A and B are shown apart, each in its own frame.
Chain A
Amino acid sequence: MEIDAEYDSGSDVDSKRRAKGKNKPKPAARGKKAKADSVEESEEEEEEAPRKRKGRKKKEESEEESEEEQKGRRKKAAGSKKRAVKKDDSEEESEEEKGNKRKGGKKGASRKEKEEENNKEKKGNGKAAGKGGKDKQDDKDKKKNKGKNSSGSSSDDNSEDESMSEGEMARLKEEVEEKKKLIVTLRNKPWRMKRRLKCLKEAQAFVEKFEGALGKGKGRRLYAFKVMMTKVLMGMPYGSIARKTVPRDEQDSAMDFSVLFEFGVICYCLIWIKLLTFLQGYCKYSIMFYGYYNNQRSIGLLQFRLPLSYLLVGVGIFGYSLMVVIRTMARNANEGGDGAEEGAFTFSWKLFTSWDYLIGNPETADNKFASTTTSFKESIVDEQENLKDENIHLRRFLRVIANILILCCLGGSGYLIYYVVKRSQEFAKKDRNELTWLQKNEVEIVMSLLGLVCPPLFEVISELEEYHPRIALKWQLARIFALFLGNLYTFLFALFDEVNAKLDNEKEIKNETIWALKEYYDNYTLHHNVTENIPPPNISPADVIRGPCWETEVGIEFVKLTVSDIQVTYLTILIGDFLRAVIVRFLNYCWCWDLEAGFPSYGEFDISGNVLGLIFNQGMIWMGAFYAPGLVGINVLRLLSSMYYQCWAVMSCNVPHERVFKASRSNNFYMGLLLLVLFLSLMPVIYSIMTLPPSFDCGPFSGKDQMYDVIMETIEKDLPPFMADIFSYASNPGLIMPAVLLMVLAIYYLNAVSKAYQNSNMDLKRKMQMQRDEEKNRRNNKDSTNQVMKDLEDLLPNKSLIPPPSAEETEKPADQLSKSPKVTGKPGAAATGKGVNVKKDVSLAAANPRAPVTRPPGPRPPGPLPGIARGPLPGQGMGRGRGGPPPRR
């Protein structure tokens, strides 16, 4: 029942294509069809002149058809003609491609030759295969092939010999022109839409690629722009100031990474180890980290204010993320709730509405199939859970034990991390060369391992609790969440300890630097006897004394964490899923028990766990991005690669999770978690920005007492003075307090309004429901099922429309006969409310006696009220049987 609006677009294109492709074999309407085709095309593209093409195409098509007619006949006999044709096409194409590839080898051949050869070969192929279908493709087709061919070969050329000769340049230019022409004229080609699109894409890509190199069009401008932007944004290149230079004693270790890289990828692990040291060595002074950026107020012609923008971007990211998450949540909240309230007709709904009738792709169909099955399984398990008999006391006891166990786990892991971080600080005091690799990266390894080991442990423990699977899943998620969060925060606190230590250390170094500088000046005056215009000390930037730069250290910690996280995830997939799947699959042939169904089985894909992992990964990025801007880039790479990697892993070596429950029907569950994580990761960053003093000699805020001083500075120096006044007033507590109050009031007001809207929504819904019910009643049983109304009408004194007693007497027998079933039938119908059996009521309505009114409506006859008078009449003692009620509607 989930038929949506988009269907037509697909089917329409489809139909067009098919109409074009498939109907050709029909001889009778050929001419007309050609015409129709052209009309079709003009519908697709408005700009062309159909008249011109028509004649040409008619000719082409009639040629084509005569051949394709035979082909078509044969195919039809074979059964699935369509498929056959498609296969045909693809076969031919692959053959063409083969030809092209072969052609690519002989590079010396000129394009003309290639083209001819290609055509020959294609024709040969076609005839040899006895198809003869496509070889009469027109010139343009060949041009396309040629284009493809030449684009392939020329790009080869390009990559192989860097310097293009004059002739090649000219040729390339010509080709680009040709491609452009092709793009323009593509509309007029009598090809199928699919092929046209493909061709267009190829041509566009080609033009895009070579136009820039040839120094024409927008490609060149873009390139120049890129270069300029890098210059403007990055300030001076590497080596120009101290913080952008690797210190002397670290240079050796920094460079051997690249040597290793040259040497080649020997072993995965080695590279990762090297990468981690690389972080310590080379990257530390690169664009990736806080320390790279310097405190020059403005850079370049554009007066780019790096420190200011650094701060604003850092804080703005949080604002933007917050906005995005909340907006997504709000949008999600609007969706859903399309159907009935939960639980009304679960099974019927599943049965009648689960298939999406728009699915046209077999793979999607398989997925939908699986998800339908899952949802059915879910409801079966639900049912079973409901039926389960239980021993409450035992279960409660077990649950308490399980929770204690899990708390122990959480506490233990927190302590472990704290311990390890403390230890690593001790290690950090020692000489780096003495430490083993393990000692250097202990923290990250321990954290990753905890993240790896604890969740399965929790799962085992939660077996004790015997919760309903859905609840159990929520508990499990909550516990993993607590674990990750606890770990992250312990890590952070330990880090803050370290930062404080570094700050103390820094003071010393600062004094030292000042001392050294003073000494230098003193010496200079002593030796040269000048007190003014002393040149600055001539020290290579690599030898300058420098502070620890805690910001970069924090950034490095986060990058290390992220990298080791990537490492662990990838290795887990490789070993835990892939290797396991390989073993299970191939050892199964010679094993004593069924490996696939039995113990090891295949890895399961745990959706909720993976989503949670993603969320935490994001949290880490949020936290670290301020101190290591390069982290964002790493993360983008990671997400991109892991998407394909995990997709491959899931498709090739995982089975669906055994536990069939989804954590939540709406996406807002995870979005809520994301929001929480965002908030939690925002706090430490903002705290550190607001309270900790930046290092004196590194980063964009060096030399300032606080990071936000940059803003003050900008306000003072760059904005007109009245703006500074405005800001100083605005930051007055006397103004801030009312502003906060106002905001609180606004929140309160909006909350109240939203509640009111909700109420009125509910009211309207109820009203609609009532209206629908009423309408249905009116439609289904014309006479009325509404007891109350009927009774009320009975009480009405105005019964003047009732026929006189004489008429009543005559119709009574028939009346009784037809009435009695109705009277008995009625209570049932009334009890079931809306669910009235249509058939019965319709038949009753038809049998309803409508006595002819023999007398015009006049004044009420004398005597007692008819209603009362009729009361004691035999056969109408049931109370509601009235003689010939006036037709109400």
Chain B
Amino acid sequence: MGSRASSLLREEDIEEIKKETGFSHSQITRLYSRFHSLDKGENGALSREDFQRIPELAINPLGDRIINAFFPEGTNKKYTAREDQVNFRGFMRTLAHFRPVEDNEKNKDLTSGEPLNSRTNKLHFAFQLYDLDRDDKISRDELLQVLRMMVGVNISDEQLGSIADRTIQEADTNGDMCISFSEFTKVLEKVDVEQKMSIRFLH
């Protein structure tokens, strides 16, 4: 596997990705083969349809949101091949959020900026799943949409509305009837995000 992937992947690319995401060389090549297998269009970039073919995402009510998270807002040439396509760099950048925090990393002082897999960045990734318009606030409407995705038609709109209200009421500390990122962080303060939002990538 390694030989094929690395043959298509230039060494300097790997180095760059390594620096950016913190993945090891073998992880990158491994993930590259995964990327490649997802890439049905054979053009070195993933479209939304490619992601939707992953069963875990296909059945996840929030699957579309997760897929969205792979497509950054500003079309940065570095990460996106063209509109609605994400290249390997972008793919890796998103996956880097899920890299587990290693012990030696915790102690290292963060001279080179916060790594992508820090607690804040992990949480921010989760936050973006709910923050549709990317205004750094989860509004009541956005909550309602998520709720609707999660429970389907089994619960009436009215009840869902009251749930959304309650949620905001719980989490909102500054009274703007929205959940900001800091409020979101506070809600999930007790969750071991570092561990839960980590995937053990094979080395």
Contacts and interface: CB of A to CB of B under 8 A. Distances in A.
Interface of A: 1-5, 7-8, 11-12, 15-16, 18-19, 22-23, 26, 29, 32-33, 35-36, 39-40, 43, 76, 80-82, 338-340, 344-349, 351-355, 357-362, 365, 369, 372-373, 376-377, 379-380, 383, 772, 780, 832, 834-838
B4 A837 contact: no
B167 A19 contact: no
Contacts of A373: 150-152, 154-155
A161 B9 CA distance: 63
Interface in B166-194: 166-167, 170-171, 173-174, 179-184, 186-193
Nearest to B4: A36
Contact of A23 (B37, B55, B190): B37
Nearest to B151: A373
Given A347-B167, A377-B155, A380-B159, A835 B186 contact: yes
Contacts of A23: 36-37
A338 B192 CA distance: 8
10 contacts: A1-B193, A19-B36, A33-B4, A36-B33, A40-B1, A81-B40, A347-B170, A355-B60, A832-B173, A838-B181
- Which 10 pairs across A and B sit closest by C-beta, in order of nearness? A36-B4, A340-B190, A835-B173, A365-B59, A15-B34, A18-B37, A347-B167, A19-B37, A360-B56, A348-B187
Contact of A80 (B53, B150, B163, B199): B53
Contacts of A836: 182
Contact of B34 (A19, A39, A362): A19
Given A19-B37, A380-B162, A36 B3 contact: yes
Contact of A351 (B155, B167, B199): B167
Contacts, number: 164
A753 B146 CA distance: 47
Contacts of A5: 198-200
Contacts of A835: 173-174, 182-183, 186
Given A1-B196, A33-B4, A76 B40 contact: yes
B152 A19 contact: no
Given A7-B199, A8-B202, A376 B55 contact: no
Nearest to A377: B155
A455 B118 CA distance: 54
Contacts of B190: 339-340, 344
Contact of B191 (A12, A22, A339): A339
A19 B53 contact: no
A778 to B, nearest CB: 14
A344 B126 CA distance: 20
B36 to A, nearest CB: 7
A383 B55 CA distance: 36
B152 to A, nearest CB: 7
Interface string B29-60: 01001101110101000000000010110011
B116 interface: no
A348 B166 CA distance: 8
Interface of B: 1-5, 7-8, 30, 33-34, 36-38, 40, 42, 53, 55-56, 59-62, 66, 98, 126, 130, 143, 146-147, 150-152, 154-155, 159, 162-163, 166-167, 170-171, 173-174, 179-184, 186-193, 196-202
A257 B165 CA distance: 68
Contacts of A353: 188, 191
A352 B126 contact: yes
Contacts of B171: 345, 348
Given A36-B4, A352-B130, A376 B151 contact: yes
Contacts of A355: 60-62, 150
B170 A19 contact: no
B150 A372 contact: yes
Contacts of B37: 15, 18-19, 22-23
Contacts of B201: 8
Contacts of B5: 36
Contact of A1 (B143, B151, B197): B197
A140 B53 CA distance: 32
A360 B196 contact: no
Contacts of B184: 352
A348 B164 CA distance: 9
A7 B57 CA distance: 13
A129 B130 CA distance: 48
A376 B154 CA distance: 10
Given A362-B59, A365-B59, A379-B163, A35 B4 contact: yes
A725 B77 CA distance: 89
Nearest to A356: B60
Contact of B196 (A4, A33, A365, A834): A4
A376 B155 contact: yes
Contacts of B192: 338
A246 B40 CA distance: 74
A672 B201 CA distance: 40
B119 to A, nearest CB: 11
Task: Give the most central of A7, A15, A81, A383: most B CB within 10 Å.
Answer: A15
Nearest to A364: B59
Contacts of B155: 373, 376-377, 380
B166 A383 contact: yes
Given A4-B196, A8-B202, A359 B183 contact: no
Nearest to A16: B1
Contacts of A361: 55, 59
B125 to A, nearest CB: 10
Contact of B200 (A7, A18, A40): A7
B151 A29 contact: no
